Structure 1
Amino acid sequence: MWGLSYWVVPISSALVWLAMLITMLVVWSTEGFPHYSSMDPKQTIAYISDVGAQSLKPLFIAMSAVTVVSFDLAFILERWLRHTGRLAHNTSLWQKLLSWLSIIAAIAGAAGLILLSIFDTVRHPRMHNSFLVLFIAGYILSAIFVCWEYQRLGIHFREHSVLRYSFWIKLSFILIEVALAIAFGVCQNQDKFNAAAVLEWVIAFIFFFYVLSFFIDFMPVVRTKNHQSRETEMDVALENGNEDGAANGERYYRRGANGAPTNGYTYGNGMHPGYNGTTNGYVKPQETAAAPRNL
């Protein structure tokens, strides 16, 4: 259950963000696609910030804050789980540094989103645009540091396919978002506001999938918490006070109808240790002085 609870952090963060975007789109459309005061005269498609600066500003601030605070908590949990060994542990100081840099960049990005929602585009346009750059740059840098860390981890833990999948997902996010951010900036400078608005909405929805992808990073926590190998169970049983080793040892192999072991173990002469002779093709167990304990 604890492993599954870690999934809630990135999933809830992503769903809050998606709910906010859909709500803003629905409200703008149900109002008849109004032309807000913050929009250019030739602009017909509203930016997210244009909608968020109107009656939905309280919702814009609250849901933006919930999204990024819970998302940054996922970064911190991931660092703690690697430190405690619940996830593949960092093998070098450089990997730990990359992890901390990703957290710091994510916090900067979170601050950018919260501040741009407070300093709206109607009353504080220049500050709003500066915080927008901080938001986008912060999370792109955070993704770069995470990718770098996972690439180094993947070299040491090649058997952990989750690291490989997560790396490629985050790398795809970096490449797509950087390309879209550049296109957004070009459209802004060329006064192509409708195209820029569409790109802003696309960037926001892609950010939803990026946040959601972090639940993949917590999948190994569930496996390591709820599943143990048969060998691990045997080791734990033998280490925790098994005073009758011979009796408990019989738990881990079976016998046939004539007392023959059926676990497939063979030794130099084809017999299981502690047995001699055969009867009807089966290994006959040695007789011992003490009667075996009933299991």
Structure 2
Amino acid sequence: MARNQRIAYISDVGAFGLKPLFITGAVITTVFLDLAFVSERWLRHFGRLAPNTSRVQSALSAISIFFAIAGTCGLILLSIFDTYHHSRVHNGCLFIFLAGYIISAIFLCAEYQRLGIHYRQHRVLRLSFWIKLAFIFVEVALAIVFAVTSWRDQEDVAAIFEWIVALIFTFYVLSFLLDLWPSVRSRHHVPQGWQEREAQLEKEAQRNGGLPPLDQGPAPITSEPNQGTYQNQEGELYYDRVTGQYRGTNMTAGQGAHHQAANSTHRPDHSDLGRQKKSGIGRTRF
């Protein structure tokens, strides 16, 4: 600490006896935060969260991850190059850390703004958007005050604002629990993306005119070409609302005998339909 300084910076505390803890905490915090970014992207891509509706949204998410990784590098490096032995390098890494995560939050906020417009029924998207937007404005304002007071050698004031910036960043990290929670599956909760998938199938069913609502039982087999085939008992055909395919075995007689199961997406080669059983001896056919 400086001679005129009574309040220690976080970097002052982490520059001496607690430096191993400082480095370990920086690595654990940022690595798991980056995993939260990647998990959010992965869960949207595979349908556990409400999926992106455009390539722009996917690009915004990817750019956000890139700048988050840059911020991670800044925080880990500033914990290694401490303020006592490497003052200039430490301050440069501090700038990379703050700039990286603020820019990352800007792109993530833009993605959530577009998601909230498309999925108005999910209030959690709008809530997450406002939390990240507030983080951007507050952290930028506090970072400016910290930089100005530090430049004017107002050490105690700058140290106080550094602790406040770190505390608010902690709440930003915890906000990702709000983003990932809708993907959890439990007895009383269906993942957000699965809800959207069911709603999509219901819309397709209504457009086709013959598919039963997804929350009702199977409909009887019908021979109408636009009505589909539904059964659900022991080898009979049924409609899988998760995969959007028909499953089961062929009906050998009666109404709907012309329908074929969709356990496999393979279709018969119609060019072989004209070939009849040929005569021969044993396995030899002529």
TM surpasses 0.5: yes
1:224 is the counterpart of 2:190: yes
Query: What's the CA shift for 1:237?
Result: 9.8
- What whole-Å deviation, never above 9, does each CA across 1:207-262 have from its counterpart, x for those lacking one? 11110011111122123349979x64536899884259xxxxxxxxxxxxxxxxxx
Residue 140 in structure 1 maps to residue 127 in structure 2? no
Q: Which residue of 2 aligns with 1:119?
A: 81
Amino acid in structure 1 at the alignment position of 2:232: N
- Does the aligned pair in 1 maintain the 2:218–2:232 contact within 8 Å? no
1:149 aligns with 2:111: yes
Pairing 1:242–2:232 present: yes
Q: Would the alpha carbon gap of residues 213 and 237 (structure 1) be closer, same or farther in structure 2, given more than 3 Å must change?
A: farther
Match of residue 109 from structure 1 = 71
Runs of 4+ with >6 A deviation: 226-229, 236-240
User: Match of 1:65?
Assistant: 27
* Amino acid in the other structure paired with 1:51: V
**Structure 1 residues 237, 61: CA separation in 2 closer, same or farther (over 3 Å shift)?**
farther
Structure 2 alignment gaps of length 5 or more: 199-212, 221-228, 235-286
Query: Could you list the runs of 5+ residues in structure 1 that have no partner in the other structure?
Result: 1-38, 245-295
Instruction: Write 1 or 2 for the structure with the bigger share of helix.
Output: 1
- Identity value in percent: 58
Query: In structure 2, what is the Cα distance between the partners aligned to 1:219 and 1:64?
Result: 24
8 Å CA contact 2:73, 2:97 repeated in 1: yes
Do residues 50 (structure 1) and 16 (structure 2) align? no
What's 2:137 paired with? Answer: 175
Alpha-carbon distance change, 215 to 189 in structure 1, aligned in 2, over 3 angstroms: same
- Residues 150 and 164 in structure 1, CA contact (< 8 A), matched pair in contact too: yes
Compared CA separation, residues 201 and 236, structure 1 to 2 (3 A): farther
What TM-score, normalized by structure 2, do the two folds share? 0.68
In structure 2, what is the Cα distance between the partners aligned to 1:86 and 1:77?
A: 10
- SS of structure 2 residue aligned to 1:115: helix
- What is the identity, as a one-letter code, of the residue corresponding to 1:242? N
- TM-score, normalised via structure 1 length: 0.66
Alignment correspondent of 2:266: none
User: Partner letter of residue 164 of structure 2?
Assistant: V
